[in-house]
Amino acid sequence: MKFVQLRVVGACMALCLLHHPVMAQDSGYEIGLGKSVNDWLTLGGYFSTEYEKSSAVQQLQLDDVAVMAYGEFSNRFSYLLELESVNAYVADLERDTRSSNFPPTIERLYFDYKGSDHLSVRAGKQITPVGYWNQQPINVLRETSSNPRFSKEMVPKFLTGIDVHGFAPLGEDLTYHVYLQNSRDMDESNINIKPESHYGFALAKQYGNGWRIGGSAGRFKEAIGSASGTRTATRYWQLNSRFDNQHYSLIAEGIVNTESAVGAGRARSKAVYVQGEYRYRPRHSLISRLEYFHDTGVAVPERIGILGYSFRPVFPVSLKLEYQWHQESSNNRFVSSFSVLF
Amino acid sequence: MRIVLLLLSIALVSVAEAAEYAVVVARNSPIEALDSERLRDIFLRRRSFEGGIPLVPINLLGEEAVRTQFESLVLQMDRGQINQYWVTSHFQGIKPPATQASLQSIKTFIERVDGAIGYLPISMVDDGLKVLHEF
Amino acid sequence: MSFKAKTILLLILLSLVPYVVTMAFLGNAYRNDVENRLMEDMGHQLGITIDRLDQSLQALQNDIEFIASLDIMNDVLTGDLDRRIVNLLLLKKDDLALDGDFDVVDGSGLVVASTALDSIGSPFNGESFMQVPLFSTFNNDNIGALRVRYEMSNLTRYFANDGNFRYALLVSGERYPAQMQIADTLSVSGVIGLRPEIGIIFEQNRDFAFAVLDSFTRSFLIALAIGTLIISAIAFLAASYILRPILLLSSTARSIYKTHDYSQRVRVDRSDEIGNLASAFNAMIQGMQDLIARLKEEGENRLKLAQEKNRAETLQTLSNKLSKYLSPQIYESIFSGEKDVKLGSSRKKLTIFFSDIVNFTGTTDQMESEDLTALLNQYLREMTDIALRYGATVDKYIGDAIMIFFGDPHSRGVEEDALMCVEMSLSMQRRVRELQREWRAAGYTKPFVIRVGIHTGYCTVGNFGTESRMDYTIVGSAVNLASRIENTAEPGTVYISEDTYLLVREKFASLPVNKVTPKGISQPVQLYKVLMEEAAEGVQTLSQDGFQLQYQPELLTAESREQLRLVLEKITRESSP
- Is the pLDDT at B16 greater than 70? The verdict is no
Q: How confident is the model at residue A205 (pLDDT cuts 50, 70, 90)?
A: very high
pLDDT at A11: 46
Q: How confident is the model at residue B119 (pLDDT cuts 50, 70, 90)?
A: very high
Neighbours of chain A (3+ CB pairs under 8 A): B, C
- Identity of the residue numbered C337: G
Beta carbons of C78 and B114 less than 8 Å apart: no
Per-domain boundaries in chain C: 14-207, 343-537, 541-577
Residues of B in contact with A141 (CB under 8 A): 87-88, 91
Which of B100, B106, B115 lies closest to C138 in CB terms?
B115
Using an 8 Å Cβ cutoff, are B5 and A208 in contact? yes
Beta carbons of C91 and A25 less than 8 Å apart: yes
- ∠C113-C117-C119 over CA atoms, to 5°? 75
pLDDT at A18: 39
Which of B77, B87, B93 lies closest to A80 in CB terms?
B93
Residues of B in contact with A172 (CB under 8 A): 37
Beta carbons of C95 and A21 less than 8 Å apart: yes
pLDDT at A8: 46
Which of A22, A40, A72 lies closest to C67 in CB terms?
A22
Q: How confident is the model at residue A255 (pLDDT cuts 50, 70, 90)?
A: very high
Question: To the nearest whole angstrom, how far is the Cα of A96 from the nearest Cα of chain B?
Answer: 35
Beta carbons of A136 and B96 less than 8 Å apart: no
Angstrom distance (rounded) from CA C463 to CA C330: 11
Beta carbons of C66 and A27 less than 8 Å apart: no
Q: Which domain holds residue A172?
A: 2-341
pLDDT at C546: 65
Is C81 at the interface with chain B, CB within 8 A? yes
Q: How many CA atoms lie within 13 A of C495 on its CB side?
A: 26
CATH of C14-207, one of 3.40.630.190, 3.40.50.300, 1.10.3720.10, 3.30.450.20: 3.30.450.20
pLDDT at A253: 95
**Per-residue pLDDT in tens (0 to 9) along chain C, 577 residues:** 777 788 888 877 887 787 777 777 766 777 788 888 888 988 898 898 888 888 888 988 898 899 888 888 888 888 888 888 998 899 988 888 888 889 999 888 889 898 888 888 888 887 888 889 998 887 778 888 998 888 777 777 777 777 677 788 887 777 777 665 666 778 888 888 888 888 888 888 888 878 887 888 788 788 878 888 888 888 888 888 877 778 888 888 888 888 888 888 888 777 777 788 888 888 888 888 889 889 989 988 888 888 788 777 777 777 777 666 666 666 666 666 655 556 667 888 999 999 988 877 776 777 777 878 888 888 888 898 898 888 888 888 888 889 999 988 788 888 899 999 999 998 998 888 888 888 888 877 777 788 999 999 998 888 777 766 777 788 888 888 888 888 888 888 899 998 899 888 888 888 888 777 766 667 788 888 888 765 545 566 666 666 667 677 766 778 888 888 888 888 888 765 5
Strand C540-544 to C547-551 pairing = antiparallel
User: What is the per-residue burial (b if ≥16 Cβ within 10 Å, else e) of C177-207?
Assistant: eeeeebeebbbbeeebebbeebbbbbbbbbe
Give the residue from C56, C61, C64, C66 with the most A CB atoms within 10 Å of its CB, the best one to mutate.
Answer: C66
Q: Which of residues 19-38 of B touch A (CB under 8 A)?
A: 37
Is C74 at the interface with chain B, CB within 8 A? yes
Residue ranges of alpha helices (H) inside chain A are 2-16, 149-153
Which of C66, C95, C137 lies closest to A25 in CB terms?
C95
Q: Which residues contact B56 (CB under 8 A, 6 or more apart)?
A: A75, B97, B98, B113, B114, B115, B116, B117, C138
Question: What's the length of chain A?
Answer: 342
CATH level 3 topology of C343-537 = Alpha-Beta Plaits (3.30.70)
pLDDT at C250: 85
Is A75 at the interface with chain C, CB within 8 A? yes
pLDDT at C334: 66
Q: How confident is the model at residue A319 (pLDDT cuts 50, 70, 90)?
A: very high
State the SS3 of C260-278: CCCCCCCCCCCCCHHHHHH
Residues of A in contact with B84 (CB under 8 A): 315
Cis peptide before C18 (omega within 30 of 0): no
pLDDT at A227: 55
- Is the pLDDT at A37 greater than 80? The verdict is yes
- Percent of chain A, pLDDT > 70? 89
Neighbours of chain C (3+ CB pairs under 8 A): A, B
Is A28 at the interface with chain C, CB within 8 A? no
Is B57 at the interface with chain C, CB within 8 A? no
Is C140 at the interface with chain B, CB within 8 A? no
Using an 8 Å Cβ cutoff, are A165 and A175 in contact? yes
State the SS3 of C222-238: HHHHHHHHHHHHHHHHH
Residue A202 pairs in a beta bridge with A177, A216
Question: To the nearest whole angstrom, how far is the Cα of B36 from the nearest Cα of chain A?
Answer: 10
Beta carbons of B78 and A246 less than 8 Å apart: yes
Q: Looking at the 3D structure of chain A, how many domains does it have?
A: 1
User: What is the per-residue burial (b if ≥16 Cβ within 10 Å, else e) of A94-104?
Assistant: eeeeeeebeeb
Beta carbons of C71 and A20 less than 8 Å apart: no
Question: To the nearest whole angstrom, how far is the Cα of A309 from the nearest Cα of chain B?
Answer: 18
- Is the pLDDT at A240 greater than 60? The verdict is yes
Which of C71, C79, C81 lies closest to B98 in CB terms?
C71
pLDDT at A14: 44
Model pLDDT for residues A57-101, shown as the tens digit of each residue: 899 999 889 999 999 888 889 999 999 988 888 898 888 888 888
What CATH number is attached to the domain comprising B28? 3.40.190.10
- Is the pLDDT at A10 greater than 70? The verdict is no
pLDDT at A264: 65
- Is the pLDDT at A49 greater than 90? The verdict is yes
Question: To the nearest whole angstrom, how far is the Cα of B119 from the nearest Cα of chain C?
Answer: 15
Q: Among all residues of chain A, which has the CA nearest to that of C138?
A: A75
Using an 8 Å Cβ cutoff, are B113 and C143 in contact? no
Question: To the nearest whole angstrom, how far is the Cα of B18 from the nearest Cα of chain A?
Answer: 24
Model pLDDT for residues A114-170, shown as the tens digit of each residue: 999 899 999 999 999 999 999 888 999 999 999 998 888 889 999 999 999 999 987
Is B4 at the interface with chain A, CB within 8 A? yes
Is B85 at the interface with chain A, CB within 8 A? no
Residues of C in contact with B102 (CB under 8 A): 81-82
Q: Which residues contact C51 (CB under 8 A, 6 or more apart)?
A: none
pLDDT at A5: 44
Is B65 at the interface with chain A, CB within 8 A? no
Which of A32, A76, A207 lies closest to B1 in CB terms?
A207
pLDDT at C439: 82
Beta carbons of B105 and C75 less than 8 Å apart: yes
Question: To the nearest whole angstrom, how far is the Cα of A74 from the nearest Cα of chain C?
Answer: 7
Question: Average pLDDT, whole number, for chain A?
Answer: 86
Is B52 at the interface with chain C, CB within 8 A? no
Estimate to the nearest angstrom the gap between the alpha carbon of C328 and the chain centroid: 51
Give the residue from A25, A27, A38 with the most C CB atoms within 10 Å of its CB, the best one to mutate.
Answer: A38
Q: Which of residues 238-297 of C touch B (CB under 8 A)?
A: none
Which of B54, B108, B115 lies closest to C78 in CB terms?
B108
Using an 8 Å Cβ cutoff, are B56 and C137 in contact? no
Angstrom distance (rounded) from CA C279 to CA C523: 82
Give the residue from A81, A117, A342 with the most B CB atoms within 10 Å of its CB, the best one to mutate.
Answer: A117
Which of C74, C81, C137 lies closest to B102 in CB terms?
C81
B4 within domain boundaries:
no
Residues of C in contact with A23 (CB under 8 A): 66
Give the residue from A18, A39, A78 with the most C CB atoms within 10 Å of its CB, the best one to mutate.
Answer: A39
pLDDT at B1: 47
Model pLDDT for residues B54-91, shown as the tens digit of each residue: 899 999 988 888 999 999 899 888 888 899 999 999 99
Using an 8 Å Cβ cutoff, are C46 and C159 in contact? no
Q: Among all residues of chain B, which has the CA nearest to that of C83?
A: B101
What CATH number is attached to the domain comprising A177? 2.40.160.10
Angstrom distance (rounded) from CA C436 to CA C358: 13
Angstrom distance (rounded) from CA C360 to CA C362: 5
Question: To the nearest whole angstrom, how far is the Cα of A147 from the nearest Cα of chain B?
Answer: 18
Residues of B in contact with C84 (CB under 8 A): 101
ipTM above 0.90, yes or no: no
Three-state secondary structure call for residue C81: coil
Q: Which domain holds residue B67?
A: 18-134
